[in-house]
Every structure is written in structure tokens, then in C-alpha cells.
Amino acid sequence: MFKLFRPLLFVYGVLLLCMSVLMAGVTLFAGLTGDSEFRVFLVSSCAVFVTGALLTVIFHTRRFQLVSRQLYLLTTFSWVIMSLAGALPFYFSHYPLTVTDSIFEAVSGITTTGSTVISGLETLPESLLLWRSLLQWLGGLGVIGMAVSILPFLQVGGMRLFQTESSDWSDKSLPRLQDLARALLLTYLALTLACTTSYWLAGMTPFDAVNHAMTTVSTGGYATDDRSMGRFSPTILWISILFMLLGALPFVMIIGFLRKPSLVRLKDQQARGFVLIVATLALSQTLFLILYNKEDAFDALTQSVFNLMSVITTTGYASADYSSWGTFSFVLFFLATFIGGCSGSTSGGMKIFRFQLSSMFLKSQIHKLIHPSGVFSIRYNQKVVQDDIMLSAVAFSFMFFVALGVITSLLSMFGLDFITSLSGAATALTNVGPGLGDIIGPAGNFQPLPDGAKWLLAFAMILGRLELLTVMVLFTPMFWRG
């Protein structure tokens, strides 16, 4: 058992050292601006650094190769450990947060969910606002790296379907995994910088521009004001729409296009499906607001596209309380909660490709009913989809709705109403952020929920972020028997 965990503890130490560097950056910012939380971040940074240094020194291993069991443990507990470290500044800050609330806020940040227990964000010290944004930015980068490098190896997650394309791309263009990681980081940084500059030029303050850029590109959704994006101009909302879209597209596709610009590289079936779904739902919502709510056409279009893009990409921003737009809008946004962006992006949700595969599978089954002796193959991006990938998609969908039912039931045991329980479970598993209803809807937050419900939702956030099966396998006796 010690051999199983030794290299993992070393990696955890490295992750904690990285977290301490980020905290040190916020400490420097707090010191330069005279922020009241300077000592909080200084102590937290030192504590995390010492812990990380001890783990790396004690469990240092020159060369090691992780097997699948270790990768499952590494993937799951990395998010847990980073969440615990990220919660320290919240707990020790002058803002009154309990252990439960601190960990909930950190988990929501690192998983890029965006649910919050903090109200009065505009009165919060800037260092804490910056830390919330950094957690989501780091989480978004981790999501991409995990989706591209770890989950395909574990036969889990959406990138299995794109393993051939991504490996072809990396073999021909960037021969080493380190080069792929470097390209992902540089692209992520470039998008963040471009988003920051765009926000600033459109009228945001430099501080708001930096914070919102980090939480837009990471499709996280943390804002610096309780009004979220509702206080900004339509120009800023359309800039946000663009970068939420880019954050929800496959990063391997974006990198390939940036290296060799060509429209052929954009002919990805998943990306086209994502854009089509957003456009269809946004058009439906726009027409509803114009015809039934008698709103101005441009305002209706802006609000519809922005809020639907935010929910579908699992960003979680809000520019209005869309749950009050009427029953049609209420149902539409609830359904949009489950969709998610593309595999290999920063977004959560069930992912577009699973809906595409399901529709293709249904079409194939109908053909077989008409022609029982026929042989029908499912093709995706001009490649035949293997049976094990279809089975994986079916297993994920089954597990997702089982988890949704179980978590909804457990939340209701804490005295929450049906809408709060169901939308809370859905928004946690899909990493969207706001739920529906008066309590956790776009105009509310998660502070009023019982502590037990917050712990359950924090677990659900990690469960959804890691594509469910990565976590669920740890609860099987077979895994621990080796």
C-alpha cells in the first residue's frame, strides 16, 4: 500500500508548492495595495509551502511511472487537496466564513462551478476576490490538462472519442507531451490576456477586467459583485459571450487552428453541434421575450444569448434573473443546465458529443428495426465509433441520472424544496453554478443551505468535474483489491 501512495504524495507536494506560489502572488498584491488580508495570505502561503516541501522531500522519487490505479487516486485527490489548500485564506480571513463555507467556496472555485456562499462581494477585500478568480483560472487549466492527458488513458471521459485525432495532432506537430502541455498553457494564457484587454477597452476597471477574464476563459463564473454581469454594458456582455464560447471549444482544435489557420480545422462535428445548439436555444428564447414579454429585440437577443451561453458552457454568470422570465424560460434554462460544452474544454456538463452519439445511436436502432439484417456503423468526424466508446457514453449517462436522483433525494432530506433540491443537484453535477428558484437561483446564493447540504454539493461538484466514473471506481471493492 505504501508503494501505491508514495509517488502520489510526491505529486501532491508539487501541487501544493504550486498553490503556495499563487498564494504568494496574492500576498504580494495585498501588500502593495495595503489589503487587510495580507497576513492571512502570508500565513496561508507559508503553511501550504511547508506542507508541500515536506511531501516532496520525504517522498521524492527520481523516476516513477504511475499505473492506472494510481492515476485514479491522483486525479480524484488532487482536486480534494487543492480545494482544502484553497480554503485556508477564506477560513482565516476577516470575512465570517465557517469551515464548511470555506471548503464549499474553494471546491466551487477549483471545479469552476461558480456557486457561492458569499454575499456582498463588492465589499469583500480585493485580495479575496482575486483569490476566488485565481482558483477558477487554475481549475480551468487543470480541467483541460486532465481531459487531454489523464482521462483518455483511464478510458474515462470524452477525449477517448478524440484520442486518435489528438494523438495524430500531437505526434505530427508537437512530438512530446511536454510540448502539448506548453501549447495548452500558452493558448490558455493568450485567451486570458485577450479577454482581459477586451474587457478593459470596453470599460471595465483593470481589476474587474483581470478577475472576469480569468473566470470567463475558465468558464467558472465568479464575479466581483453580487449583480454578476448585470451591471455591465451590452458590449461587455458580447465580449463575454465570445470568450465563453472559446473556453467551451476543444482546446486541441483551437491550438491546431492557431498554428495553421484553416477553416478545415474548424470543421469539428462537436464544435459545430455546440454552436448549433446554442444558436437554436438562444433564438427560441429571444423570440419568446419579444413576442410574450414585449422586450426590445436587441436587448432580448443580448440577454438570451448571454445567459444561455453562460448556462450551457457551465460558466454561471447572470445578467438578469432568467428564472423570472416565465415558465418557458424556466424549463429552457433547466434543460440547458445539462448540456455543457465540448470535450477537451474548460466547461462541464454532459458534453455535446454524448448527445450527438445518443442521437446517432437512436437513428441506428430505428434503421435496424426497419432493416433487421442491415449493418449500420456510427461515424463521428468521418471515423467509425467503436462499441466500447458507445458503451462508455451510455454508462456515463446512466450514472449521471442515477447520481442526480440520489443527490436530489438526499438534498430533500435536509428540508429543501423540490426545485432547490433538483436544480442544486443538477448545477453541482454539471458545474454550472446558480440553480433555480428563490434560494439558489441567479438572484440568490447557497449560503442559506444547511451545512450537510453544502458538503453533499461539494462532493457532487468534484464528482461531476471528474466525469463521475473516475470517482465512483474508488468506491468499488475490486479497485482496492488491486
Confidence grade of residue 176 (pLDDT, cut at 50, 70, 90): low
More confident residue, 152 or 70: 70
Q: Which of 216, 224, 223 is nearest to 248 (CA)?
A: 216
More confident residue, 478 or 173: 478
User: Residue 334: pLDDT above 50?
Assistant: yes
CA dihedral sign of residues 459, 464, 468, 471: negative
Per residue in 31-90, pLDDT (tens digit) is 999 999 999 999 999 999 999 999 999 988 777 677 788 888 888 999 999 999 999 999
User: Residue 464: pLDDT above 50?
Assistant: yes
CB 297 within 8 Å of CB 288: no
**Which of 10-19, 209-218, 464-473 has the highest mean predicted lDDT (pLDDT)?**
209-218
3-state SS string over 198-214?
A: HHHHCCCCHHHHHHHHH
Q: Tell me which amino acid residue 271 is.
A: A
User: Residue 132: pLDDT above 90?
Assistant: yes
Least confident span in 88-92, 147-151, 272-276, 357-361: 147-151
pLDDT for the residue 1: 57
User: Residue 310: pLDDT above 70?
Assistant: yes
pLDDT for the residue 158: 64
pLDDT for the residue 163: 52
CB 471 within 8 Å of CB 73: no
Q: Where are the domains of the chain?
A: 389-480
More confident residue, 453 or 68: 453
User: Residue 13: pLDDT above 50?
Assistant: yes
Per cent of the chain over pLDDT 70 is 94
Q: Which secondary-structure segment (H or E) carries 384? A: strand 383-384
Least confident span in 3-12, 103-112, 163-172: 163-172
Helical H runs in 123-176? 126-145, 163-173
* pTM for this entry: 0.91
Confidence grade of residue 329 (pLDDT, cut at 50, 70, 90): very high
CB 430 within 8 Å of CB 403: no
More confident residue, 159 or 375: 375
Per cent of the chain over pLDDT 90 is 62
pLDDT for the residue 199: 98
User: Residue 165: pLDDT above 60?
Assistant: no
Q: Which residues sit opposite 380 in a β-bridge? A: 383
User: Residue 169: pLDDT above 50?
Assistant: no
User: Residue 168: pLDDT above 70?
Assistant: no
Q: CA 8, CA 1: separation in Å to the nearest integer?
A: 12
pLDDT for the residue 409: 97
Computed on alpha carbons and rounded to an integer, the radius of gyration of the chain in Å comes to: 22
Longest dimension (CA), the chain: 76
More confident residue, 368 or 280: 280
CA dihedral sign of residues 173, 178, 180, 184: negative
Least confident span in 109-113, 264-268, 327-331, 476-480: 264-268
Give me the chain's average pLDDT, please: 89
User: Residue 308: pLDDT above 50?
Assistant: yes
Confidence grade of residue 160 (pLDDT, cut at 50, 70, 90): low
Confidence grade of residue 344 (pLDDT, cut at 50, 70, 90): confident
Q: CA 9, CA 7: separation in Å to the nearest integer?
A: 5
Per residue in 408-423, pLDDT (tens digit) is 999 999 999 999 999 9
Per residue in 253-301, pLDDT (tens digit) is 898 888 888 777 778 889 999 999 999 999 999 999 999 888 899 999 9
pLDDT for the residue 2: 60
pLDDT for the residue 166: 37
User: Residue 309: pLDDT above 80?
Assistant: yes
Mean pLDDT value of segment 123-136? 95
More confident residue, 469 or 303: 303
